Amino acid sequence: MDENNNIHNLDKETLSDKAYKILVELIVSQKLESGVRLKEQHVAKELGISATSIREAFKKLAADGFVEIKPYYGVVVRRTDEKESDNIYQCLVALSEMEMKLAIDNFDDNFVIQLAGIIAKEKKAKSFFEFHSLNLDFHHTIWVQTGNEVFVKIMKMLVASTHMRYADGCEQGQKHIIQGHQNILEAIKIKSPKMAHKAMLELLEKSMQIIKK
């Protein structure tokens, strides 16, 4: 397979980026299951992408928590274990109330317009990565609206440490995320931190249910 034919006219996307996206989608969809060993040469051959690009993709996958690089063994698909997911979920739940109060305290019309625009794009997303990026944008917009830079850093760290993203890797998950975002937006529109907090908790709980299936 000609390596250059795999670029699909994605102007600035490197081959390692392309390999990373393909492998993430395979892991999220569980076509590559937890514990599976990924061999560099085999993956390179299957994807028609150079071993060097695959090696770079593996490094990014490891940094993002999708795989582990084990000395003298190789690269293995991992998942956040149930205890770790539960611990992170507890932190997100505890911080949600603060998140909504601060964001609504700093309410402005542009905040609502931004969130509504992201939801509209989510409904038209054509790929996991497009949807996943928009999902993160929605939450990041709320974090930034709190006006608390330390809070933003904490939330980024928590989300990067968990596989909450597994929930947006399936059609069912995407539908519930869009509805959850819509519920949060409606609560923000009427400036109700209590309702927004409740909507966020419902979104988090449903996401955890999907992840654990």
Q: Helix count (H) and strand count (E) of the chain?
A: 9, 3
What pLDDT does residue 140 have?
96
What pLDDT does residue 163 have?
54
What pLDDT does residue 173 have?
83
Predicted TM-score (pTM) of this structure:
0.77
CA angle 168, 19, 69 (to 5 degrees): 85
Residues 53/40, Cβ–Cβ less than 8 Å:
no
What pLDDT does residue 171 have?
76
Residue 108 has what DSSP assignment? -
What pLDDT does residue 1 have?
43
**Domains of the chain by start residue, with CATH:** 3-77 (1.10.10.10), 82-212 (1.20.120.530)
Structure tokens at 95: 């911080």
pLDDT mean for each 10 residues of the chain (213 residues): 43 85 84 90 95 95 87 86 82 95 97 98 89 91 97 88 61 89 98 97 86 67
What pLDDT does residue 92 have?
92
What pLDDT does residue 30 have?
74
E strand segments, the chain: 37-38, 67-70, 74-77
